[in-house]
Structure 1
Amino acid sequence: MTSTLETIHDASLAILKNTGMIFHAPEAVDILHKKGCIVEGNRVFFPENVLMDLISSAPESFTLFARNPAFSIEIGTGTPTYSVGYGCPSIIERDGTKRNANFDDYLNFVKLIQGIDNLRINGGIPAQPNDIDMETCSLLMVATALLYSDKCIMAQPGSRQQVEEMFNLAALTSGGMTQMRKEPRIITLINTLTPLQMDAHAVDTLMVHAENGQPIVICSGFMQGTTAPMTMAGSMALGNAETLAGVALTQAIRPGTPVVMAINGSPANMRTGALDIGSPAHAIEVKCCAALSKKYGIPCRCGGTSTDAKSVTAQAGYEAMMTMQTSMESGVDLIIHSAGILNSYAAMSYEKFMLDLEIISKLEYIAAGIPINDKTLALGVIDTVGPGGQYLTHMHTMENCRIEPWQSPIESLVKQESNEGDNDFLIRNLKANVDKRIAAYERPVLPEETVTYIKNFLREKGVPEQDIKRLN
């Protein structure tokens, strides 16, 4: 792997030096030019020494602070932080039908995330509502996450004005902007415009985050054969170059800005042109991204429970397990698309959401290994039972049977004799678990005056009153 990494690294440096990258924002071009990059119009060429000097100031890890300190997280330690599916305009129902996502879906996922311990980041775009005003949608979604959750917050990219408004909104629950700059509260994902471009909104988002010391995830989501070379090596070199250019820009603006590098590419299916995130090539790219990030000393994001399946089927299960296991074994720091994704990132599913939590639970159990101590070795129990004895009725079994073996997060998995098929039984239990968790949701306490400030802020920024009323 070392020689592979070095070759991809060298190729990425050659791309940035000889081919360059376009930034559709004059401010970004000027900043990089002043740092020693070569500029031709909006195309920036990175000399190796300039690039490596810039990215060297990116921190190896950073803390993302939550309103509830118990949910604050350290990103960059090799222990994964999970964030659910992102950017989905549709919902796939339990019977396989697809519909547009709405605000109630977004709110449901915010409530589900709040109630699940190992999901520490809320907000983002698990479901893109189609029934609220698109101009103010991002602001309303961030407000929803702030009001209904006390975990770390993921926001959305946008214009400079939109991102600054989201920051000012978050500051209402963070002790003001000065305190928020000391304790980063908002993380956002931007994507490069492959091949070798970054659009104006992505640059705006990156710049506002860097100026205010808030972490930013910079992702190359290339498609082999369409937006990147068909070969995996060429695609990884291209994706790595794009990501490094973004990291360099953050550090040129403000050295030490928390940043996460992400190469989350997949092949394009040459028969259909569709993205193929269930391919084993995607899993290999996850391993490579994680290894490259360790080489540079920068936290990484990639992987998830990716699948091209269009409903909760065996395909959805084995593809999701493949990529998530690779992500966890590779030491990925931030795993977006950890729960709920179907149909090549195009849709979320409540049932798949619960199934993916089961996958994560199993993999965490495997990763923990065998707990070794006097109690778990149970030598005294073994001696007492002796050859030919039995452990079923021994008190040691009674004391440990609900602790030691892995327990499914999905309840009622014991199937009674019936004509119901195994998959129908599974889907029904997954749906029942979703309903139970949403019903058990408890809204975190937030001072009433803060709630009022948030709603008034939304009114000032033009969010329609009918949308604000949905934040009951």
Structure 2
Amino acid sequence: MDINYDRYQAMSIDDVEKIHEYTVDVLTNTGIWVEDNEARDIFKKNGCRIENEKVFLNEKVIQTALENAPSEFRICAIEPRNSKTFGVEASIFAPAGGAVTICESDNIRRAPTMEDVNDFSKLVQCLDVIGLNRPAVHPSDVDPMKKFLYITLADFKYNNKIYQLRRETLEMICIIYGITPEKMKKDAENGIHYGYSTSNPVSPLELSSAATDTIRFQAEYGVPNIIAPMPIGGISAPATVEGTILIQNCENVAAIVFSSLINLKAPVFYGCIGSVGDMKKGSATAAAPEMRIIEAAGAQMARYYNIPSRGAPGSPDAVAMDFQAGAESAMGFYSSVRSGVHLITNMGFMGNWMQASKAKLVLDAEIIESVLRIMQPLEITEEKTALDLIKKLGARSTYLTEKHTLKNYKKNFYNPKVFRRTTFEKWEKEGKLEAAQSAENKAKALLDQYVSPDRDPSIVKELETYIAKHDRR
């Protein structure tokens, strides 16, 4: 899809420059908390002032990092046609990540299993609108210390799209692609990457040991880093949208700087997932309208720094698949696409990031397809306007039986796969199915019709052997 549409701009260019100016002020004068000794030493060796756990950046390291972060990079999929170039292509979509419960269409919740992991991986393969895979749920029926090994095996067996690449799955990804870790590093220097992973700054203004350890791994192996700061307005950020935007930017820039000190050209995504607090409960909201403003502002900052962005609109606060869930998801996906976010995640999420649903994944795919149709630019030409046909038929005519209609309607009019266009009487006769149940049926049909990709049995066996060796450690 052409991305040269009129984007939603939450800030003026003057506002964008102010956020950058204020960010430099905070990072150089207030500093960030860095938990790990070795990480602090890396900052210190590059001219940053250290006071206990506090690190004070300087303008030089900030400018150098932002000037050298890649504006685009390509992540390979095992099926080459599914590889994606982030920063150039239009919005690319991905499912939920790490839900701890499964929600069925009847709103019954349960613990996820490896069968659910397999099903989500298969649905990701089936839904064309999804370009990047994530572990939608964490299985409860395997050793939690080995869960990502099992998830990686499932992804390889069941889908051809971009995989997650974590420290513990590095060797498995190398087996899948037939490369060594050293070749992965070398290919990264030439803009070829074999997966992605996420790092999580802690709000406000902290890089934990877990965050810096992850960033070091990502930068060393050239793994694109989805930076995921999540300041919560009123809780871990000021109780203003503007203040939350500033904290979000500070944490992104701090992570980008640290990444650059390991590998100057390390690929990163700017994370636009700040939220605001539900002050009645003292917790984060997942679908507040303010999140979309924070996300849009983040996308603007990412464009200002000329790096790809990531947003996460697909998780409603709704705990059931009802009107609220659909409304929150639709508003979120439309806003993210309109804001020009490059990587848009969380399809199939529900319940404040806690639940995942196969039916919701199918419904979100339908919403996204509709959003992409809305955003498709018009082509005002004599051919597209059918000027000659209008002049030929004139007034009081019908286009229904024209060859032009038969030739063009399928490629010009979006046809929903789940949402119904029917009469009340027909809907009643067919069982009064609501959208959630229709989506559940669609998900089951996709799984029933699913055909596994061709896989080399020797690679599957090698991956299974690798996991078995880990189980014995």
Work out the CA distance in 2 between the residues paired with 1:326 and 1:78: 18
Give the letter for the 1:297 counterpart: N
1:61–1:77 contact (8 Å) kept in structure 2: yes
Counterpart pick for 2:358 among 347, 350, 359: 350
SS state at 1:383 partner: helix
Deviations 1:386-406 (A, max 9, x none): 321111122222222322211
Q: TM-score, normalized by length of structure 1?
A: 0.92
Q: Which residue of 2 aligns with 1:220?
A: 229
2:427–2:433 contact (8 Å) kept in structure 1: no
1:180 corresponds to 2:172: no
Work out the CA distance in 2 between the residues paired with 1:418 and 1:217: 44
1:294 corresponds to 2:303: yes
Work out the CA distance in 2 between the residues paired with 1:418 and 1:152: 39
1:281–1:423 Cα change, 3 Å = farther
The alpha carbon displacement at 1:382 in A equals: 2.3
Work out the CA distance in 2 between the residues paired with 1:423 and 1:228: 46
SS state at 1:172 partner: helix
Give the letter for the 1:299 counterpart: P
The alpha carbon displacement at 1:411 in A equals: 7.0
Counterpart pick for 1:150 among 157, 160, 169: 160
2:244–2:294 contact (8 Å) kept in structure 1: no
Q: Which residue of 2 aligns with 1:448?
A: 457
Q: Which stretch of structure 1 is more off in the superposition, 365-374 or 44-53?
A: 365-374
1:242–1:408 Cα change, 3 Å = same
1:329–1:250 Cα change, 3 Å = same
SS state at 1:402 partner: helix
Counterpart pick for 2:128 among 110, 117, 141: 117
Counterpart pick for 1:6 among 11, 17, 39: 17
SS state at 2:278 partner: coil
Work out the CA distance in 2 between the residues paired with 1:85 and 1:300: 17
SS state at 1:189 partner: strand
1:360 corresponds to 2:368: yes
Q: Which residue of 1 aligns with 2:4?
A: none
The alpha carbon displacement at 1:51 in A equals: 1.5
The alpha carbon displacement at 1:302 in A equals: 1.4
Q: Please, which runs of 5 or more residues in structure 2 have no aligned partner? A: 1-11
Give the letter for the 1:278 counterpart: A
Q: Which residue of 1 aligns with 2:397?
A: 389
1:179-328 to 2 correspondences below 5 Å: 179-181=183-185, 182=187, 183-328=192-337
1:27–1:95 Cα change, 3 Å = same
Deviations 1:87-131 (A, max 9, x none): 210111112222222221111110000112221112x32111111
Work out the CA distance in 2 between the residues paired with 1:268 and 1:318: 20
Identity, in percent, stands at: 26
SS state at 2:227 partner: strand
The total of aligned residue pairs comes to: 455
Give the letter for the 2:57 counterpart: F
Work out the CA distance in 2 between the residues paired with 1:141 and 1:25: 29
Work out the CA distance in 2 between the residues paired with 1:192 and 1:421: 50
Q: Please, which runs of 5 or more residues in structure 1 have no aligned partner? A: 157-162, 465-472
1:146–1:170 contact (8 Å) kept in structure 2: no
Give the letter for the 1:190 counterpart: S
Q: Which stretch of structure 1 is more off in the superposition, 315-324 or 421-430?
A: 421-430
RMSD (CA atoms): 2.0
2:309–2:341 contact (8 Å) kept in structure 1: yes
Work out the CA distance in 2 between the residues paired with 1:420 and 1:204: 58
Give the letter for the 2:200 counterpart: N
1:62-211 to 2 correspondences below 5 Å: 62-77=73-88, 79-122=90-133, 124-156=134-166, 163=167, 165-177=168-180, 178-181=182-185, 182=187, 183-211=192-220
Q: Which residue of 1 aligns with 2:388?
A: 380
Q: Which residue of 1 aligns with 2:413?
A: 405
1:296–1:423 Cα change, 3 Å = farther
Q: Which residue of 2 aligns with 1:469?
A: none
Counterpart pick for 2:63 among 41, 48, 52: 52
1:106–1:128 contact (8 Å) kept in structure 2: yes
The alpha carbon displacement at 1:184 in A equals: 0.8
SS state at 1:438 partner: helix
Work out the CA distance in 2 between the residues paired with 1:402 and 1:81: 24
Work out the CA distance in 2 between the residues paired with 1:428 and 1:321: 18
Q: Which residue of 2 aligns with 1:468?
A: none
